[in-house]
Each structure stands twice: as C-alpha cells, then as structure tokens.
Amino acid sequence: MVYMQGKVDIDKLALLARINLSEKEKEKLQKEFGSILDYVSELKKAEVGKMSDEEIAMAKGIKNIAREDKESHEAAVGGVHVKVKHILK
Amino acid sequence: MINLQNLTIKKTKEMMKSGEITAVDLVSGYLKNIKAKNKDINAYLESFDDALEAAKKIDEEKNYDKPLSGIPFAIKDNILIKDKICSAGSKMLENYKAAYDATVIKKLRDAGAIFLGRTNMDEFAMGSSTENSAFGPTKNPHDLERVAGGTSGGSAAAVAADMALVALGSDTGGSIRQPAGFCGVVGLKPTYGVVSRSGLIADASSLDQIGSIARNVEDAEIIFNVIKGKDEMDSTSMELSAFSSQPSAKLKIGLLRYDKKGVSEEVEEAMSSAVKVLSELGHEIAEIELPHIEYSLPCYYIIQPAEASANLARFDGVRYGLFKEGENLLGDYMETRSVGFGDETKKRIMLGTFVLSAGYYDAYYGKAQKVRELIRRDFKKVFEKVDVILSPVSPTSAFKIGEKTEDPLQMYLADIFTVSANLVGVPAISVPAGKSKNGLPIGIQFIAPWFREDILFNIGKQYEQCA
C-alpha cells in the first residue's frame, strides 16, 4: 500500500514512477501531496449512484485502431543473414 | 517600416495582394520585434532563421491566394515542426529534433503560413502560468512583473506583443483560453476531436486539443477552418459538418451561476458589463446551473495527472531526448527522469501514478470518470435550454510572477472556469472584455455545445464589435 494513515509512501511511489528524488524533493512532495489529495478527495462526496462503465459516454466505443497491414515488408532473409534496410544515414 | 499593430489576417492579405506590403516586409517586422522584445518577455524559445526565406519564396511566386499566404505564426513548443527542436518546455527534450510535421503544421504549411518560431510553455503543458518552463517564465506584455498565463503563455504573449500575427497553442485544462485572457487576445479551444492531435506532444490525451490564438475572433476562425478535420493519424479526430456562422440570430445565453468566493471584483464587473452588452444586442440571458461543476477541478486533477503519468512514461532515456547513466537499466530510467523533469512534472507523474495504483484506482480514477460523466450530462441538459454559456475565463487577472508557485492548490484554482470544457469535450472561446484599473486585460468565456464552434464565432464577433 502506498497510502497509510493519511501518509503517502513517497519512496514506493517514486520507484513506481521511475524517478529518483532527493530528500528535499521527497519532503516537499510529502507536504504538497497531502493538500492535493485532500482537495481531490472532495470527489468522494459526489453521488454517482450505480453507474456502470457502459454508461460513461466518453468511454463508449473506444478501441485500439491499427493501420491496415497491406504493405508487407520485403523478404529479409538472405542466406544465413537477415538483411534489413539502412535506418541510419 | 510597417505598423504591425491592429493587423488582422484579412487586412494583411489585402495589403499583400495590392502590393502595399510584401511577405518579407511582414516577417522582417515581426522578427525585428522578437529581437527587440523577447529578452524581456521570453515568449519565444527560438525564432527561425528560415522564416525570411519562406517569405521571399511567397513574394517571388506572388502567391497570395491561399487562405494563410504569408501569415506569420508563432507555434507552441509542443507541436512538431520537421527538423526543428521541439522541447515541450523541458530539459528532457532540450535537443530533440522533430522527425515529422504535426498534422496541423502540415495543414498550415499547405495554406501558405510562415513559422516565426517556437514559443515558451509550462513543461509538458502542465501549469497555469508558464512558470514551470525549464527555460524561465514568459512575462505578461502588459506588466512584466506578472505572468502571461499558461500553459500556452508564450504563444499568447507573442500575439499580444506584436511578435507574431497569430499563434497555435494547445489546451488541456484552459491552456489556450487562460493565457489569452491574461494577455488580452482571443483563444479558441475547439471541440475534442475536431483538430488532429497527431504531432502534438501528449499531455493528457482525452483532454488535449490544439487551437488558435489571435487578435480577433475572425482570425481565430480562419485558422480553425484550416486546421480542423479528420486525420487518419489521430483515431479520435472527425469531420465537422458545416454551419452558417453569420452573426444574425438572437441567441439564448446561459449565464453560469458560480461561487463568487475567490473571484475578483474586476472580473465580476467585466461579467456584468458583458451581460449588459449582450442583452443590448438583443440576446436573451438566463441564469443556468451546472450542478456538478464544483467537482470539475478535483476531477480534472485526477484524470490529467493519470493520463500524463502514462504518456510521460516514454521519456526514460531510451527513445527520446536526454539520457543519464545509472547503475543498471532501472537506474538509467530513474536518473534520466530525475534530471530531465522539473518539479511540477515530477509531482503530476507521482500523483498520476498514485491515483492509478492498485487499491486506489477505483476510489480516484474510476470515480473521476463517473463524475466526469455527470458533468457531461449537466452540460447536455443545459444545452437543451440555451445556445451558449457565458462565464469568466479565470477568477482574477494576471497574477504576479512567483505569487502562486509555493502553493500548488492556489495555482490549480486558476483553472476553475476552464477545465470543465476539456472534461466534457465542448468548444470554448476566450474573448477580451476590457481591462482592470491597473491596466490588466480581463477575458470572458463562451462555451458552446459539441461541434458548434460556429456559435462561438457568431457571438464572439458580435461581442467584440460592441465591447
């Protein structure tokens, strides 16, 4: 758990976020996190009832879109080597 | 020497066509202004030497017939221009050169536009004042001790200080409208999906939208008409059907009821006189309520950091920009991100990581998505009764540099009137509405239903002619 008794485990969170933080930065974040989390926790008061994910209009119909796979690569195997185009100039 | 004050796209194009000025005159004039003013204002991170060559080419070919022939643009530094550095205001991408043109840049280029340079912004478009730029804050041209607003502060200041005729910005929670309001220019955030985001460095993908910053509503409209449209490189983009934008119809305007606490007297005065002007124009004005609007800011400051933390995961020293060596591969990531990102960016990534982490996802991110849906329904309901909503852009005029940097919540509150349009995806425009006693611009905001930018242009033009 990264949040215990009103305190955020900044070290754990920094590791998850892949950021090295100095002691000074940790101290400042610990303080600011408290007030920001208090503020955004206002949302808990909002009555959303029993809203299912399907009822969220902006989440409806979202799907991954990939380009059509129509231009296939040239054959790249030549003898015992794999040949590819130059990618660096 | 041409007078760059009070130029518009239409007027500039007429002057070029009639031979009164050339594109070279115009571009030289702006470059001269940039040289003279930028050290004080810091609107540009770089001006482009090849702008003059592009102008020369237009003059030689006498090609003044395209929609934006010879029109000089300032471009926010998170929109890719091929072979130019695109830093997103960050040390992480300080030397990153764009490999391709963003779709909007391609469209502007095809329309004959000239790019003067790239403008300053809050790092990765997170902030409300441009103070989070790794390259120093942009100053407000009306008072150099004050912020230009943010995150597109550089673009708004450039237009306000005659360092560009028009500009592009991006708006995730008010980043076009708020700096436009602070600098006394017009700023448009289009409907989500109407302008392609391909080639925009992502901040929060479900909120981001590119839009125009200009001296008047007509210019903002001309630019919008060039950059809009479906793009196969952005699967959320779509075509906008045509509406008439002739400013004739009498509209029903919904005056947003809001908590007056924290809203300055001068903003209140600007709102009252706007209401007066609009009713004298014959529009019907009724107070409206968006019952869940009080949740829009907490909702925004969950969704935005969540999406940004995911989008910014790609900056780890491997693929883009800065690389700092650590003890092992994980160390490489952690060291690169520690050195490359500024304080606010780190904070938002940490916040986003928190609200998405196991055990908190449902309580924060999941809840925010549901509240976002409630806010969307509020807007939908209100737009059954009114054509357009009127509200302030920001609770105050431009604040002093450093005034809010120590208190993140105070800074976040600067976005209170703008974030809801991004959360629900509707278009909104910020229009100048006079000045405060100490000469600082104040803006008002019109918000229209989805895909009805035409209503914003209609009411915006009517208002600016009378204000």
Domain residue limits, chain B: 1-467
pLDDT tens-digit series, residues B56-89: 999 999 989 999 999 999 999 999 999 999 999 9
Kindly report the number of other CB atoms within 10 A of residue A31's CB atom: 11
Contact B173, B419 (CB under 8 A): yes
Place of tokens 């940097």: B405
- The long-range contacts involving A3-8, CB below 8 angstroms and separated by at least 24 positions, are A3/B354, A3/B359, A3/B360, A6/A34, A7/A34, A8/A33, A8/A34, A8/A37, A8/B354
Q: CB–CB of A36 and B301 under 8 A?
A: yes
pLDDT of B153: 98
Which residue from B309, B371, B376 is facing A46, i.e. has the nearest CB?
A: B371
Provide the token pair at A8: 């955020």
Average pLDDT, chain B: 95
Kindly list the residues from chain B whose CB atom is less than 8 angstroms away from the CB atom of residue A18. Answer: 313, 316, 330, 333-334, 337
Whether residues A3 and B369 touch (CB distance < 8 A) is answered with no
pLDDT at B249 (0 to 100): 73
Q: Which domains are seen in chain A, by residue range?
A: 3-48 (1.10.20)
Q: How far is CA B466 from CA A82, B56, B109, B266, B461, in A?
A: 70, 38, 34, 19, 9
Q: Distance between terminal CA atoms of chain B?
A: 30
Q: Pick from A28, A43, A57: which is nearest to B371 by CB?
A: A43
Residue A28: both structure tokens together:
């400042």
Smallest Cβ–Cβ distance between B298 and the set A1, A39, A59 belongs to: A39
**A18 to B316: CB separation less than 8 angstroms, yes or no:** yes
Q: Coil, strand or helix: which one is A86?
A: coil
Q: Are the Cβ atoms of B368 and A43 closer than 8 angstroms?
A: yes
Contact flag B373-A56 (C-beta cutoff 8 Å): yes
Cβ distance B367 to A44 less than 8 Å, yes or no, reads: yes
Q: Which of B231, B373, B424 to mutate to test the interface with A (most CBs of A within 10 A)?
A: B373
For residue A56, name the pLDDT band (cuts at 50, 70, 90). Answer: confident
Handedness of CA A41, A47, A52, A54 (dihedral sign): negative
How far is it, in rounded angstroms, from Cα B356 to Cα B394? 29
Q: Please report, to the nearest 10 degrees, the dihedral formed by the alpha carbons of residues B273, B275, B280, B284 taken in order.
A: 180
CB spacing of A36 vs B309 below 8 angstroms: no
Question: Looking at residue B247, what is its pLDDT?
Answer: 53
Least confident of A46-60, B25-39, B47-61: A46-60
Distance from the A41 Cα atom to the nearest Cα atom in chain B, whole angstroms? 7
Cα distance between residue B223 and residue B211, in whole Å: 8
B390-439 pLDDT, tens per residue? Answer: 999 999 999 999 999 888 888 888 899 999 999 999 999 999 999 999 99
Q: How far apart (Å, rounded) are the C-alpha atoms in residues B29 and B168?
A: 20
> Would you call B354 and A8 a contact, using CB atoms and an 8 Å cutoff?
yes
With a cut of 80, say whether residue B22 has pLDDT above it. yes
Q: Which of A69-73, B244-248, B295-299 has the highest mean pLDDT?
A: B295-299
B351 with A19: Cβ contact below 8 A? no
User: Is A19 strand, coil or helix?
Assistant: coil
Q: Could you tell me if B73 and B114 are in contact, meaning their C-beta atoms sit under 8 angstroms apart?
A: yes
Per CB-CB distance under 8 Å, the chain A contacts of B347 are 29, 32
Distance to chain A for B100, nearest Cα, Å = 16
- In terms of CA atoms, which chain B residue is nearest residue A32? B408
CB contact under 8 A, A43 and B302: yes
Per-residue pLDDT for A1 more than 60?
Answer: no
Percent with pLDDT over 90 in chain A: 31
By Cβ distance, the residue of B295, B341, B373 closest to A42 is B295
pLDDT of residue A82: 78
pLDDT per residue over B258-286, tens digit each?
Answer: 988 889 999 999 999 999 999 999 999 99
> Does B373 contact A46 at a Cβ distance shorter than 8 Å?
no
Can you give the pLDDT at residue A6?
Answer: 63
Count of CB contacts below 8 A, A vs B?
115
Does pLDDT of B300 surpass 70?
Answer: yes
Per CB-CB distance under 8 Å, the chain A contacts of B360 are: 2-3
**What pLDDT, on the 0 to 100 scale, is given for residue A73?**
67
Averaged over B375-388, what is the pLDDT?
97
User: Percentage of chain B surpassing pLDDT 90?
Assistant: 91
* Nearest chain B CA: its distance from A86 CA (Å): 17
Tell me what the mean pLDDT of segment A44-71 comes to: 82
SS (H, E, C) chain B: CCCCCCCCHHHHHHHHHCCCCCHHHHHHHHHHHHHHHHHHHCCEEEECCCHHHHHHHHHHHCCCCCCCCCCEEEEECCECCCCCECCCCCHHHCCCECCCCCHHHHHHHHCCCEEEEEECCCHHHCCCCCCCCCCCCCEECCEEEEECCCCCHHHHHHHHCCCCCEEEEEECCCCCHHHHHHHCCEEEECCCCCECCCCECCCCCCCCEEEEEECCHHHHHHHHHHHECCECCECCCCCCCCCCCCCCCCCEEEEECCCCCCCCHHHHHHHHHHHHHHHHCCCEEEEECCCCHHHHHHHHHHHHHHHHHHHHHHCCCCCCCCCCCCCCHHHHHHHHHHHHCCHHHHHHHHHHHHHHCCCCCHHHHHHHHHHHHHHHHHHHHHCCCCCEEEEECCCCCCCECCCCCCCHHHHHHCCCCCHHHHHHCCCEEEEEEEECCCCCEEEEEEECCCCCHHHHHHHHHHHHHHC
In tens, the pLDDT along B109-127 reads 999 999 999 999 999 999 9
* Res B321 pLDDT > 80: yes
Report the residue count for chain A: 89
Q: In the predicted model, what is the mean pLDDT of residues A74-89?
A: 73
Q: How far is CA B407 from CA A23, B203, B306, B402, B404, in A?
A: 20, 22, 21, 10, 5
Asked whether the beta carbons of residue A56 and residue B425 sit closer than 8 angstroms, the reply is: no
Q: Which overall architecture, per CATH, does domain B1-467 show?
A: Alpha-Beta Complex (3.90)
**pLDDT confidence of A67, banded at 50, 70, 90?**
confident
Lowest mean pLDDT among B41-50, B146-155, B257-266, B311-320: B257-266
Q: B180, exposed or middle or buried, with CB in 10 Å at 0-12, 13-18, 19+?
A: buried
Mutate to test the interface with B, among A19, A51, A58 (most CBs of B within 10 A): A19
Asked whether residue B141 carries a pLDDT value surpassing 70, the answer given is: yes
